[in-house]
């Protein structure tokens, strides 16, 4: 008789199942809800990208690839990022690229390469759900940088949290769950702080393309990569091209670090799906600006409906808004979530992304008619 319970590690005890799952399970029981809980675009993968994957399968590109990814995709990513950031990227260069199984895998590989048990990793609060849990896998401790009420993770908020155990800071702009986009001045200050304290910066830029006009500066996406090549940039294909189930992302940063992350990848994920990597080359050439413009209009609908009723940090990117539950209602995020549920609208309570429970996350990646209907319900509840 094997006693599984006795064999399970303390790590498993410390790791919490994703609260988003609980909301998904509730959604499955509801009849045609307005679903503002989903963290993925509502559009399908564009046809040329699908065709590229089909062609790759038919051409027999079904085996393993080298761990760091097929040369064509790595070259396409290197060209894109060196044009954008001016970095020297490629084998034998200062920085290198590796293809990952989604941004999630990039996060895990980076945490394992950079954090020892007992080390500290500073993450924003509110945060993307993986940031504290992956720290558990690495045996490290997540230190929360409170960013309420404006959700701006600034150098001034970070500085007092840095100790001699701090290994890296996770930055996420545009942010999940807030949609807030940091500006160049703020990013430059964070880069300076990291350099002066010898702390690595990990920039999760999965929503880079979903940065609207008011989050851009002269049309350009603000990233710490403009001020240093000594940070790790993680991006992915899940959101921009609607490829969440295809598991494709990339990491670009100092070659020494990419080499170690590749080593961990050899013994874990092995490689991103071969045919998907070929489709990724086509994705990088596929213009999504019309889709992004449609999401910018949805964002405007959210701000217009709720901005006057409660505190709402301006969401200049991603496809989320994180309004406060108006304090005069005397409800927690979870209590408001239940009230919305009774009206057939599904949001996510703020405590799933935070140590606090005062807000709700709305994903507005839904069609305009449903968005309008759901916003009407939320606005009525907030009045």
Ligand X SMILES: Cc1ncc(COP(=O)(O)O)c(C=O)c1O
Q: Does 39 bind ligand X (CB under 6 A)?
A: yes
Q: How many residues bind ligand X (CB under 6 A)?
A: 13
Cα(38)–Cα(297) distance, integer angstroms: 18
Binders of ligand X among 210-239, rule CB under 6 A? 236, 238
Q: Does 244 bind ligand X (CB under 6 A)?
A: yes
> Segment contacting ligand X (CB under 6 A): 46-54, 62-70, 82-90, 97-105?
97-105
Phi, psi of 47 (to 5 degrees): -50, -45
Sign of CA dihedral 257, 184, 84, 280: positive
When the beta carbons of 236 and 253 are compared against ligand X, the nearer one is: 236
Of 33, 41, 69, 102, the residue at the interface with ligand X (CB under 6 A) is 102
When the beta carbons of 103 and 211 are compared against ligand X, the nearer one is: 103
Q: How far is the CB of 129 from ligand X (least distance, A)?
A: 8
Distances (CA, A) of 297 to 3, 126, 225, 263, 367: 55, 25, 28, 43, 11
Q: Does 206 bind ligand X (CB under 6 A)?
A: yes
When the beta carbons of 231 and 382 are compared against ligand X, the nearer one is: 231
Q: Does 110 bind ligand X (CB under 6 A)?
A: no
Tell me which DSSP letter residue 46 carries. Answer: P
Of 103, 265, 277, 358, the residue at the interface with ligand X (CB under 6 A) is 103
Q: Does 33 bind ligand X (CB under 6 A)?
A: no
> Segment contacting ligand X (CB under 6 A): 4-12, 98-106, 152-160, 358-366?
98-106
Of 82, 104, 332, 354, the residue at the interface with ligand X (CB under 6 A) is 104
Cα(250)–Cα(78) distance, integer angstroms: 10
Q: Give start and end residues of each alpha helix (H) in the chain.
A: 4-7, 10-14, 19-29, 47-58, 71-85, 102-114, 130-138, 155-158, 184-197, 255-266, 274-284, 289-306, 333-342, 368-382
Cα(223)–Cα(314) distance, integer angstroms: 18
Binders of ligand X among 148-177, rule CB under 6 A? 172, 176
Q: How far is the CB of 252 from ligand X (least distance, A)?
A: 14
Q: Does 147 bind ligand X (CB under 6 A)?
A: no
Q: How far is the CB of 318 from ligand X (least distance, A)?
A: 7
Pairing mode of beta strands 232-236, 320-321: unpaired
> Segment contacting ligand X (CB under 6 A): 27-35, 99-107, 151-159, 294-302?
99-107
Cβ neighbours of residue 219 under 8 Å, at least 6 residues apart? 213
Cα(237)–Cα(241) distance, integer angstroms: 6
Q: How far is the CB of 259 from ligand X (least distance, A)?
A: 22
> Segment contacting ligand X (CB under 6 A): 78-86, 102-110, 192-200, 330-338?
102-110
Cβ neighbours of residue 375 under 8 Å, at least 6 residues apart? 301, 302, 305, 306
When the beta carbons of 39 and 222 are compared against ligand X, the nearer one is: 39
> Segment contacting ligand X (CB under 6 A): 22-30, 69-77, 101-109, 302-310?
101-109
Residues listed for the chain: 383
Query: By CB neighbour count within 10 A (0-12 exposed, 13-18 middle, 19+ buried), where does 17 fall?
Result: exposed
Task: Provide the binding-site residues for ligand X, judged by CB under 6 A.
Answer: 39, 102-104, 128, 172, 176, 204, 206, 236, 238, 244, 249
């Amino acid at each position: 008789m094997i006693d599984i319970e006795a064999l399970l590690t303390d790590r498993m005890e410390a790791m919490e199942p994703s609260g988003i799952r609980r909301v998904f399970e509730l959604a499955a029981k509801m009849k045609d809800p307005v679903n503002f809980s989903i963290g993925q675009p509502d559009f399908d993968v564009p046809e040329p990208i699908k065709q590229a994957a089909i062609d790759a399968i038919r051409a027999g590109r079904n085996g393993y690839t080298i761990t760091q990814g097929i040369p064509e995709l790595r070259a396409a990513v290197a060209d894109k990022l060196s044009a954008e950031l001016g970095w020297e990227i490629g084998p034998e260069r200062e920085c290198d690229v590796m293809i990952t199984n989604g941004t999630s895998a990039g996060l895990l590989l980076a945490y394992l390469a950079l954090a020892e048990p007992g080390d500290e990793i500073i993450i924003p609060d509110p945060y993307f759900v993986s940031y504290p849990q992956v720290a558990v896998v690495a045996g490290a401790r997540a230190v929360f940088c409170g960013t309420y009420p404006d959700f701006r993770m600034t150098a001034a908020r970070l500085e007092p949290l840095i100790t001699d155990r701090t290994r890296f800071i996770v930055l996420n702009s545009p942010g999940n769950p807030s949609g807030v986009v940091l500006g160049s001045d703020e990013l430059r200050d964070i880069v300076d702080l990291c350099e002066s304290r010898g702390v690595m910066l990990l920039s999760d830029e999965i929503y880079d393309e979903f940065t609207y006009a008011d989050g851009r500066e002269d049309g350009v996406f603000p990233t710490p990569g403009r001020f240093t090549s000594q940070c790790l940039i993680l991006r992915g294909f899940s959101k921009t091209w609607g490829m969440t189930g295809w598991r494709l992302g990339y990491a670009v940063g100092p070659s020494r670090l990419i080499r170690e992350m590749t080593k961990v990848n050899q013994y874990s994920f092995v490689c991103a799906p071969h045919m998907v990597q070929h489709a990724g080359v086509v994705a990088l050439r596929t213009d999504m600006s019309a889709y992004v413009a449609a999401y910018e209009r949805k964002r405007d609908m959210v701000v217009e409906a709720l901005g006057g009723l409660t505190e709402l940090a301006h969401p200049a990117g991603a496809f989320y808004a994180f309004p406060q539950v108006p304090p005069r209602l005397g409800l927690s995020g979870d209590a408001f979530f239940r009230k919305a549920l009774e009206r057939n609208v599904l949001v996510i309570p703020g405590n799933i992304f935070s140590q606090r429970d005062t807000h709700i996350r709305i994903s507005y990646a839904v069609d305009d008619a449903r968005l309008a209907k759901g916003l009407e319900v939320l606005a009525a509840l907030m009045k």
